[in-house]
Amino acid sequence: PLVPVTELLKKAEEGKYAVGAFNVNNMEIVQAIVAAAEAEKAPVIMQASQGAIKYAGIEYIYALANLAASKTSVPVALHLDHGTSFEQCMKCIRFGFTSVMIDGSKLPLQENIALTKKVIEVARATGVSVEAELGKIGGTEDDIHVDERDAFFTDPEEALTFVQQTGVDSLAIAIGTAHGQYKGVPKLDFARLEKIVGLVKIPIVLHGSSGVPDEAIQEAIGLGVRKVNIDTNIREAFTNACRQVVESNPKEIDPRKVLSPAREAATEVIRQKIRVFGSAGRA
Ligand code: G3H
Ligand code: 13P
Ligand code: ZN
Ligand code: NA
């Protein structure tokens, strides 16, 4: 069965590593994540974004992840990524997701707190953990200048207030990462991360981690990041492999011939991430 995320992150804290949270959109990616987790003997989190829910539907995502979890001996959890409303979180909890994110980061602080609390109230009773976001992570297209950092990045004191007032299980923070492909090399605000970890005693989540150099990811984990989100690097590996098949063999019409190498390429990139996160051999 799908396992609670709380349990995985508690063990990650004890072992000082991070659990990879990989975005799922279809059967092949679900299979790639389990294959990678099995090969590396690692716990993993599968997560469904808004785009994944639109594309595949909650039912298919849940069924695929649940099947994957029931067929393997490594711990697999299922998480809602960037949940947009209380209702969506409830829907995922009813289906059997073992964790939800309520992303109130665009709201004023007090509204983000109120919304997060509302989700936690129900989630608690069902053993589902809740991730919230404080600060603006954004996309790589939103260029954040150094003088704007304080306005966008997570404020450590505010993070403490947020965690105390909500009782949230884990916190996604903005320290310079962005969703999607980076134009240059992202510069993370490690001093800010260190301050946050010093104040906030819950697992910290790093979003937008594709394209962040391995050393920077490891430094962030060394400072206390316990969940690392990866989507873009899987998309790149998957789609580039598809492209290679169709370009080198324009007459290919068998989707399985296109998707098998894609699934393998995704497995390989996920295995590499698991090793970087230090979660290999922890299952
Ligand atoms: O949350 C960010 C994901 O990486 C992308 O989301 O599937 O909705 O495009 P999407
Ligand atoms: P990347 O697409 O940059 O890996 O970000 C993924 C993410 O943060 C999902 O929530
Ligand atoms: Zn994210
Ligand atoms: Na990224």
Cβ(132)–Cβ(168) below 8 Å: yes
Task: Give pLDDT, residue 147.
Answer: 77
Report the predicted TM-score, pTM, of the whole model to 2 decimal places: 0.97
pLDDT mean by block of 10 residues, the chain; 283 residues: 96 98 98 98 98 98 98 98 98 98 97 98 96 91 76 95 98 96 94 98 98 98 98 98 98 98 99 99 97
Pocket test for ligand 1, best of 49, 131, 137, 207 (most atoms within 8 A of CB): 49
Task: Give pLDDT, residue 148.
Answer: 80
User: Does the predicted interface ipTM exceed a cut of 0.95?
Assistant: yes
Catalytic site includes residue 81 = yes
Give the integer Cα–Cα distance in Å for 31 and 23: 12
The H or E element that residue 32 is part of is: helix 27-40
Q: Give Cβ neighbours of residue 210 (< 8 Å, ≥ 6 apart).
A: 180, 181, 230, 231, 232, 233, 234, 236
Give the integer Cα–Cα distance in Å for 69 and 72: 6
Give the integer Cα–Cα distance in Å for 4 and 53: 20
Give the integer Cα–Cα distance in Å for 278 and 25: 25
Beta strands in 106-186 (DSSP E): 129-134, 170-173
Pocket test for ligand 1, best of 53, 82, 100, 236 (most atoms within 8 A of CB): 82
Task: Give pLDDT, residue 250.
Answer: 97
Binding-site sequence positions for dihydroxyacetone phosphate: 180, 208-210, 229-232
Q: Domains of the chain (ranges plus CATH)?
A: 5-277 (3.20.20.70)
Question: Hey, whose CA ends up nearest to atom 5 of ligand 2?
Answer: 208
Task: Give pLDDT, residue 151.
Answer: 82
Pick the closest to residue 227 from 2, 44, 76, 21 (CA basis).
Answer: 21
